[in-house]
Structure 1
């Protein structure tokens, strides 16, 4: 597929899936505006995107746990473009620890704020720019922990709660934005392994049913959904687990 002349915003692009999506979008011709909590990290990844593909990329700071930071990020995006064609809600703090007492109040509040409140706020503040696009998509990287009775992960209960809230938001947003032609696409991957898109082995090794899910496979799913005709509303991707 191609993303030529499309404006793509990726949150939490300092590493992992967000960084991989930014790099792949750049290779497909998109203009990429990406965020990370650290301004330095965001600028570093943007420079990687440009060096990799020559794409127009810019990194901006955004702490999704801080509403003022989200507002500043959205304002910075609006100052640089008159529309957003694809918003990827990727940023969310992961919190380990199966016992509720495994994390303190501050870590729990930060996890809920970044994964749940932050997703709602960044989408809210970028919605006018999404509405200005002729073909907008909102992609949410949720998690298998948001599926009913999925207790496989050792993540903290606060992470489960944040992802469940994110899933509920995505579900209602999909129904309410569909009449406007805005697609809301959510992915529910189980735990998967990171693979660096800049590594020589990226995309060369065959993947089989016996292999663990990787960043490449998850980003492939995102790009597949974005490539579908506008009458195709793929609401969610769920993955079979062993």
Structure 2
């Protein structure tokens, strides 16, 4: 499926799964606005995409600190200068490890909640006007299995669980409230997954089985499947069996 007609915004795309999404959307022809906490991190991914032969005019790097409302507003304003967007991917959230509540500092707790919970709300609020200008607006949020009610399988810190639970509640409400305006709100709840580069030549050589961990490739496929559906098809969430 080609996405040459799409303008896509991806938060926290300087590394890991955000980088993977930026590479894959660009490979499908989308115009990509990628953000990272530092301009250097965003620029590195932009150069990587351009190095794969993509038009520099369709790959944009932005700095955005999800814990800073002014930074989020500046990011949205920079994107708005180039027109509407069709897809917003809320990928950013600081991970905090440690099943002991006392293992994290107060500053760690505040930043974890601010990036994952407050940041997701602020980014969605800032970009919603640009999405409403599209005839096919989609909001994709990478929540986590930690956002599922009753999940206890992760070694993530309680603050990360709290941030992801907030994301889950936010997207649930947003999905109902924006459906009438034609905005699809799609949430993914993956467990920990293998983020090997899905663009490497060796990727397709190793078939995946039920015994293998979930891969970034599978999550990308879920995202592309959901946004590629006709506009009467609202896929609200993807939940995954966890070992």
TM-score (norm 1): 0.97
The alignment yields a C-alpha RMSD, in angstroms, of 1.0
Q: What whole-Å deviation, never above 9, does each CA across 1:92-111 have from its counterpart, x for those lacking one? A: 00000101111001110000
Q: Does 1:90 align with 2:122?
A: no
Q: What whole-Å deviation, never above 9, does each CA across 1:12-40 have from its counterpart, x for those lacking one? A: 10111111111111111100000000101
Q: Does 1:102 align with 2:99?
A: no
- CA shift at 1:53, angstroms? 4.3
Q: What whole-Å deviation, never above 9, does each CA across 1:155-208 have from its counterpart, x for those lacking one? A: 000000000000111001011110111100000000011111342223332111
Residues paired across the two proteins, number: 241
Q: What whole-Å deviation, never above 9, does each CA across 1:78-120 have from its counterpart, x for those lacking one? A: 12x2111000000100000101111001110000000000000
Q: Does 1:28 align with 2:28?
A: yes
Match of 2:126 in 1: 125
Query: In 1, Cα distance between the equivalents of 2:240 and 2:25?
Result: 23
Structure 1 unaligned segments of length 5 or more: list them. Answer: none
Q: Does 1:10 align with 2:10?
A: yes
Match of 2:43 in 1: 43
SS at match of 1:35: strand
Structure 2 unaligned segments of length 5 or more: list them. Answer: none
- CA shift at 1:5, angstroms? 2.1
Q: What whole-Å deviation, never above 9, does each CA across 1:21-72 have from its counterpart, x for those lacking one? A: 1111111110000000010110110111122241421110001011111111
TM-score (norm 2): 0.97
Match of 1:70 in 2: 72
SS at match of 1:203: helix
Query: In 2, Cα distance between the equivalents of 1:45 and 1:20?
Result: 10
Query: In 1, Cα distance between the equivalents of 2:66 and 2:221?
Result: 25
Match of 1:148 in 2: 149
